[in-house]
Amino acid sequence: MINPTPDLLMGLDAAQTREFLALGKRLLLSSGAQLFRLGEPAETLYVVQRGRVRLTLPMQVRGSDEEVMVEERIPGQTVGWSALTPPYRFTLTASVPLESEVLSLSREALRAHFEANPAVGQIVALNLAAVVGERLQLFQAMWLREMQRTVELHGA
């Protein structure tokens, strides 16, 4: 499944979208491949084109570190926005559970493009804020649900 309008590009016209996508490089990933690891320098933003990307965090399960899925990204969605926000380090590990394709966009290429096209930069920045805000709200709700259960278990 290919999504023609990535969430990061909502609001751009056809020419702006074409120019933006031309900045990227297509990466074909085989099943099980890792896109990036937790803690690595984040230089590249990815837009999922095909397949799926699993975002995981390490969790101690029976005394050993296990990668536990916290989120899954589908075509059209953005992965790795740590590349655009300091301190430019990935805060999750990304891998693909099946053969997938992503568009990789380097921070330097994006900066240069936004400097030359401020209107595009503004739209993309607002779209990025929506992506970040959505995740913040989602995990805020998940955190509160866990807190509620903790209170019910220990605070009653």
Partner 1 sequence: MVLCMSVLGLALAAMAFGAATRPERAAQQPAAQPQLAKPHARFFVEPVAQPRIPIDALLAQIENHVRLEHAAAESFLEYPTSALLHSKTSSPFVN
**What's the min distance (Å) between Cβ of 142 and partner 1?**
5
Q: Which residues sit opposite 111 in a β-bridge?
A: none
By CB under 8 A, name the one of 18, 98, 139, 150 that touches partner 1: 139
Kindly indicate which of the ranges 9-17, 40-48, 86-94, 139-147 contains the residues binding partner 1, using the contact rule CB under 8 A.
139-147
Residue where the block lists tokens 């998940």: 142
- Is position 148 an interface residue for partner 1 (rule: CB under 8 A)? yes
**What's the min distance (Å) between Cβ of 5 and partner 1?**
20
Binding-residue pattern over the window 57 to 86 for partner 1, x denoting contact by CB under 8 A:
--x-xx---x-xxxx---------------
**What's the min distance (Å) between Cβ of 92 and partner 1?**
13
- Is position 138 an interface residue for partner 1 (rule: CB under 8 A)? yes
If the CB atoms of residues 116 and 144 are measured against partner 1, the closer one turns out to be: 144
Cβ atoms of residues 33 and 95 within 8 Å = yes
Strands annotated E in 3-147 = 25-29, 34-36, 44-50, 53-61, 64-73, 78-79, 93-95, 100-106
* Residue 114 half-sphere exposure toward CB, CA atoms < 13 A: 15
By CB under 8 A, name the one of 25, 26, 111, 145 that touches partner 1: 145
**What's the min distance (Å) between Cβ of 41 and partner 1?**
27
Of 68, 46, 41, 42, the residue nearest 57 (C-alpha): 68
The one-letter amino acid at 89? R
Of 88, 87, 101, 94, the residue nearest 56 (C-alpha): 94
Binding site for partner 1 (CB under 8 A): 59, 61-62, 66, 68-71, 134, 137-139, 141-142, 144-146, 148-149
